[in-house]
Amino acid sequence: MSPTESARASFDDGLETYQESRELSPEQKVIEKQLVRTLDLRLLVWSCAGYFANGLDRNNMPYAYTSGMKEDLDLQSDEYNWAVTMFFIGYVVLQIPCNAIITRVRPSLMLPAIMFLWGAVVCFMALVQNHQGLYGLRICLGFAEAAFYPGMVYLLGSWYTKRELGSRTAIFVAGSQISGAFSGLISGAISQTLDGHNGLRGWRYLFIIEGLIAVFVSLFGFFVLPDTPSTTRFMTPEMREVAQLRLQRQGRQTTVTGFNWVTFRNLFTSPYILGYIVVFSIMQIGMQMLTQFPIVLKTMGYSTTWASYMNAPVWIVAAIVIIAQGYLSDWRYHRVWHIVGGAIITIIFYIILVAVNGGEVPTALLFVCVYFITPVLGISPIMMSWLNEFYSVDLETRALAIAATNSIGNLAPNFANVKIWLVTDAPAFRMGKIITMALMIVLVIIVLIMYWAQQKGYCLPKASQKIETESTISNKLGKQDDPETSVV
């Protein structure tokens, strides 16, 4: 027998040895149900509440703009857009370093701490007196929030299996959409009851109230969040063991190996990370019609209060659509086709917004189109689930890929939106709609090319080289035999 055949026979013996242990025992399946229930009650609920607070604090600029900030700070078109963009400058600078750190520290301490910090920054935004001060605090807010979204996506991917991850990521992301609804309700209520109270305009109260919500939610995170499957203190040893086994069955890496040349090769010597970044960037531009909706209504002649209240149902529907898309992607599993489907629906209704009456569509049709554009938001959690699974062979690669995609994918479109979605173009926003429609078509093409390349096995990420152990044999067995190991 040749050395190669001998090594293969030895490995096959290892596979046979672990064949029976690959499936969870009846007792372990009971523990798995308890584990998932615990994760849903602790990790998922807090992550959704945290992203709710994150969405309030990051996306309250349109409501502040229509609640007196424009007049008090004398904001011109470019100044408002730059105030929005300044957040993403800070957001990008720290996001990749923060997600590199999260593999080395306790997420249960890091994530609540940064939430407390950004809540305090938002409260201080109520004190600004000019657009320069607003710029400075928006950058600080970006620094503070940088670690939250990629850190939570990384943590979700560290616990949930491929049949659970899409729906859980969608529920997490839906927290931000629900915040869009409540931000409108909060803004409308403030405009009616607090605007001018004690000499403060409504936008200042908006920052104070929404900042305090983040501070409040952050305090619970110190007590409920898990760390990693091997280090979480409030779980029993049996639950930690099952948590690792069920991920290993899918070929998922569950231990930190340290940054090495394999990590950077996985990211920078293949085109996939660039594809994910471009897709995420286009998705961010695609949602701008929803983000600008209060300004569209205000410039059409409706009151600030009415515009805020009418925006709330849009985000409630968006949250429902996102969760439905996430569950469908788990059920049917092929992430790519759910991304393509959401993009095609979005393209159709952007075409209507451009074609009818030169972009100045009737109010009823405007509402219909805005509601049917909401599937663009479902692209984000499905794509992040796809990315989480695609880079699952190496923890460090996965952490950096998530951070790079989210940071650059947020920064690029926000610089572009400064000129694409000018507030002075409201309510038609014709140029913004046309460019967005074209970019969504590009998104579909890129996703299909990535799907084809991955199916062909081109430039797939590789795990760090390790000594063959019982754990790695078990991992390989799970990856070979588990039908859920497909990356798309």
HEC profile of 107-175: HHHHHHHHHHHHHHHHHHHHHCCCHHHHHHHHHHHHHHHCCHHHHHHHHHHCCCCHHHHHHHHHHHHHH
Residue 484 neighbours by CB under 8 Å, 6+ apart = 161, 162, 163, 250, 333
d(CA 189, CA 298): 16
**Cα-based angle 92, 252, 35 (whole degrees, multiple of 5):** 95
Cα-based distances in Å from 46 to 41, 65, 121, 146, 221: 8, 30, 21, 18, 7
- Assess whether pLDDT exceeds 60 at residue 224: yes
Say how many C-beta atoms besides its own lie within 10 A of residue 355's C-beta.
12
Question: Would you say residue 259 has pLDDT above 90?
Answer: no
Q: What gap in Å lies between CA 408 and CA 281, rounded to an integer? A: 8
pLDDT surpassing 70 at residue 20: no
Q: Is 298 in a helix, a strand, or coil?
A: helix
Mean of per-residue pLDDT scores for the chain? 83
Please tell me the least confidently modeled range out of 195-204, 235-244, 271-280, 384-393.
195-204
Of residues 345 and 75, the one with the higher pLDDT is 345
Count of beta carbons in the 10 Å neighbourhood of residue 267: 19
d(CA 94, CA 145): 9
Residue 281 confidence (pLDDT) above 90: yes
Query: Percentage of the chain surpassing pLDDT 90?
Result: 41
CB neighbour list of residue 279: distance below 8 Å, 6 or more residues apart: 339, 379, 383, 409, 443, 446, 447, 450
Residue scoring higher pLDDT (262 or 300): 300
Is pLDDT at 464 greater than 70 in this prediction?
Answer: no
Predicted pLDDT at 197: 80
d(CA 7, CA 230): 31
Q: What is the pLDDT of residues 368-382, one digit of tens each?
A: 999 999 999 999 999
User: Which of 53-62, 234-243, 450-459 shows the lowest mean pLDDT across its residues?
Assistant: 53-62
C-alpha distances (whole Å) from 22 to each of 125, 167, 390 are: 54, 25, 22
C-alpha dihedral (164, 214, 182, 187), degrees to nearest 10: -160
Query: pTM score, two decimals?
Result: 0.81
Query: Looking at 342-346, 357-361, 362-366, 453-457, which range is the least confident one?
Result: 357-361
CB contact at 8 A, 102 and 110: yes
Q: How far apart are the C-alpha atoms of 252 and 394, rounded to whole Å?
A: 8
